[in-house]
Amino acid sequence: MKIASIETIPYEIPYTHPLAFASGSVSTADHVLVRVTTTDGVVGSADAPPRPYTYGETQSSIMETIGSLFSPALVGTSIFDREKIHAVMRRTIHNQVAKGALDIAIWDAIGKTVGQPVHRLLGGYTDSMRVSHMLGFRPAAELVDDAHRMGEDYGITTFKIKVGRRPLSLDIETIRALRGALGDEVELYLDANRGWTANEAAEVLRNTTDCDLTMLEEPCDAKEAMSRRRLVDRSPIPVVADESAPTAGDASRELLNGGCSAICIKTARSGFTEATEILGLCTGLGVDVTMGNQIDTQIGSLATVAFGAAHEATSRRAGELSNFLDMSDDLILDPIAIRDGRISVRETAGVGADIDEEKLAAYRSDR
Ligand SMILES: [Mg+2]
């Protein structure tokens, strides 16, 4: 069960329509499939979604970091020696998505080697996660239609509204339109992706007090420390750190500085190992966690479900698990089903996302 080889395969799958938000937009999934093969012939897989405008990583930087820095140092190491593996990865700063995918691929190989689903190895708390759907920058009427369709087709009742635009009235009107059209039964929360200042975010909260919003994510740049702390102190709802807290160290800094009162965990940038550290920090301090989405494929979404369902705290809130619905295709062999607003964990050994080799051959961009 030693690591025999690590492969990084670039591929590109278009979205059916571009996804737009305050920090960027995405029209193609130009990701990297990371594969770890062991000396026993077990193959562990994970998806790496680059987000250059958020973390600076690109498809080629992920391949280079894994291929030239991590792989030469890790080949020959047992997949069970995770602390040794992380000691190697810690020598390189940043590159969270490269590290996260490699960590998940190794967990997938561990699950397959011991014949257990990874959600059990991580905690085994429950067997599914409730799904939250993201509503991006589009006219309010289209978002209302999208939310209705998600409710009718998949039973989804929790929606994240992407905000962070100027003038603020654009977002305030969208929030009001959605609450008015969807009624009181659905959960609505906001993600501004640093698009506002802290004071602008406070103004939006003041103007939407009757809209029953449950969370406000990344309202402004976390570097706006003093105003953001004031916002967090006065906000009636949890202020969630997402891209300002990709590591356990960042999460502890933001929580202790008063820059947030909840943390978004994304397995795409934390892997399962650092996500576990972040979760322990949050439960220890008594703050809420949410499972976020890095515009994940079905492979990445299943990893989020495996981690989120494994723990009590991460399964309390709906996870952001439906972005893959906007992809024109996926590399997964057995597609995800959303039923009654939930996605189930896989009971097969590993994370459960087996790869369709024909599709991989068709979409890989290195041949
Ligand atoms: Mg976010």
Q: Is the confidence at residue 251, as pLDDT, over 90?
A: yes
Q: How far is the CA of 230 from the centre of ligand 1 (A)?
A: 20
Look over the chain and give the mean of its residue pLDDT values, rounded to a whole number. Answer: 97
- Residue 362: predicted pLDDT: 97
Residue 22: predicted pLDDT: 78
As a whole number of angstroms, the distance between CA 137 and CA 49 comes to 21
Residues assigned a catalytic role: 162, 191, 217, 242, 266, 294
Q: How many A from CA of 191 to the centre of ligand 1?
A: 6
275's enclosing H/E stretch is: helix 267-285
- Cα(5) to centroid of ligand 1, in Å? 34
Q: What is the mean pLDDT of residues 121-133?
A: 98
Rounded-to-integer distance, Cα 260 and Cα 274, Å: 19
Cβ proximity of 97 and 55 under 8 Å: yes
- The CA 161 to ligand 1 mean position distance, Å, reads 10
Q: What is the pLDDT of residue 288?
A: 97
Residue 361 pLDDT level (bands cut at 50, 70, 90): very high
The confidence score (pLDDT) of residue 17 equals 85
> Comparing C-alpha atoms, which of 252, 194, 256, 182 is closest to residue 223?
194
Q: Which two tokens stand for residue 17?
A: 């329509």
Mark the residues whose beta carbon lies below 5 A from ion ligand 1.
191, 217, 242
Cα–ligand 1 centroid distance for 292 (angstroms): 7
Residue 53 pLDDT > 90, yes or no? Answer: no
**189-224 residue pLDDT tens:** 999 999 999 999 999 999 999 999 999 999 999 999
Is residue 41 predicted with pLDDT exceeding 90? yes
Give the residue among 291, 241, 283, 231 at the shortest CA–CA distance from 262.
241
> If you average pLDDT over residues 77-86, what whole number do you get?
98
Is 129 in contact with 318 (CB distance < 8 Å)? yes
The tokens describing 14, both together, are: 């278009």
Overall average pLDDT of the 142-154 stretch: 98
**pLDDT tens for residues 155-180?**
999 999 999 999 999 999 999 999 99
pTM: 0.97
Cis peptide before 167 (omega within 30 of 0): yes
Ligand 1 geometric centre to CA of 219 (Å): 9
Gap from CA of 53 to ligand 1 centroid (Å): 13
CA of 297 to the centre of ligand 1 (A): 16
**Is the separation of the CB atoms in 312 and 298 below 8 Å?**
no
Instruction: Give me the pLDDT at residue 23, please.
Output: 76
pLDDT at 24: 77
Yes or no: say if 24 and 54 are a contact pair by the CB < 8 Å rule: yes
Res 37: pLDDT: 98
Ligand 1 centroid to 102 CA: how many Å? 22
Mean pLDDT along residues 311-334: 97
Looking at the chain, the whole-number percentage of residues with pLDDT higher than 90 is 96
The predicted model gives 47-70 an average pLDDT of 96
Could you write out the three-class secondary structure of 175-197?
HHHHHHHHCCCCEEEEECCCCCC
Q: What is the pLDDT of residue 113?
A: 98
Output the pLDDT for position 294: 92
Q: How confident is the model at residue 236 (pLDDT cuts 50, 70, 90)?
A: very high
The residue among 285, 364, 353, 363 whose CA lies nearest residue 329 is 363
Q: Which domains does the chain have, with CATH numbers?
A: 3-115 (3.30.390.10), 120-344 (3.20.20.120)
CA end-to-end span of the chain: 30
Judged against a pLDDT cut of 80, whether residue 21 lies above it is answered with no
Question: Look-up: residue for tokens 């190895």?
Answer: 121
The pLDDT tens digits for 265-291 are 999 999 999 999 999 999 999 999 999
